Amino acid sequence: YVKAVEKKGKKVKKTLEIALLYDAAGKPKIQGVKRISKPGRRMYRSVLEITPVKYGHGALMLSTPKGVMTDKEAKKENIGGEVLCYVY
């Protein structure tokens, strides 16, 4: 899904610049991203509450004590965490 990631900025003004992958027809491999946790409302899920995104065609990004993981990696590690976003 992601071609390259680059960190930019210093201290408080840090950002991530993400380059997306495209297929041979020029369409991006990522069709959409939906942010779930926000500063005013954090959403957490246990390993039992993690469900597939778009019938398994998407990914759920989680911030766990072991780092940022997809839903499949978190289930394999048997760990839950803060839900960052859906990627499909």
Split at pLDDT 50, 70, 90, the class of 10 is confident
Rounded CA-CA distance 29/22 in Å is 6
pLDDT in tens, 49-81: 999 999 988 999 999 999 999 999 999 999 999
DSSP labels, 10-66: -GGG-EEEEEEPB-TTS-BS---EEE--BTTB--EE-GGG---SGGGTSEEEEEETT
Answer whether 0.85 is exceeded by the pTM: no
